[in-house]
Amino acid sequence: MIKKFLIVTSFLAIGTVASFANTDEKKICTGFGKWTEEGEYKVVRSKCITEKEYEASLNAPDYLCKYYQKSIWKESEREYGKKQYQYTDSSLNKINSLKDEGKTLCDAGKLKEGEAKLVEAIKIISHTRMN
């Protein structure tokens, strides 16, 4: 009976470890590929992180600081951005200054204050026709 119990629990333990190992090793990749004229699919670039790294990034204290900064596009600074998304020079200046202020606060570890500045920049972007 004890032998049977040990066998079952051993299998369960091995299964659990294998399952976690599999989760840790599972990759999340973003990339770009294209079909060649020969009909072959070619990956042009691809960047991978593990599922564990992705989950850690989502739960990191500075996640929103990083996410919001990434969400403020460079495109807003370009000429077509001004035309397509109806930015004014004034709104662009405001976006950039808020982004700089937010980044400075985030880098200094003042995460909530930094996020607040960055959200203000995103609010301006949201009300243009950027997205």
Partner 1 sequence: MPNINLPAGFSISVFAVVPDARHMAVARNKTTVWIGTRKDKVWQATDRDMDDIADTVEQFAPTVKFDIPNGVCFSDDGHLYVAERNRVLWFPAAEYFMESPDTVAVPIIDQGNLIPVEEESYNHTARVCAVNKADNKLYVSLGQPHNVAPADKLDLYQEVGIGGMISFNRFPGDLDRKVVATGIRNSVGHAFNPKDGSLWFTDNQVDGMGDETPPGELNKMPKMGMWYGHPYTGGGEVRTNEYKGKTIPKADADRYVKPQVEMIAHAADLGMMFYTGKQFPKKYHNAIFSAQHGSWNAVKPRGARVMVTYLDSKGNASKTEPFADGWMTEMGTYLGRPVDVQQYFDGSILVSDDKAGIIYRIKYEG
Could you list the residues that contact partner 1 (CB under 8 A)?
27-33, 35, 41, 43, 46-48, 54, 57-58, 63-64, 67-68, 71, 84, 119, 122-123, 125-131
**Distance from first CA to last CA of the chain, Å, rounded?**
64
Given the complex with partner 1, which of 4 and 83 has the nearer CB atom?
A: 83
Which of 80, 94, 64 has its CA nearest to residue 129?
A: 80
Tell me how far, at minimum, the Cβ of 118 lies from partner 1, in Å: 10
Residues 117, 107: Cα–Cα separation, whole Å:
13
Given the complex with partner 1, which of 2 and 29 has the nearer CB atom?
A: 29
Tell me how far, at minimum, the Cβ of 89 lies from partner 1, in Å: 19
Residues 73, 70: Cα–Cα separation, whole Å:
7
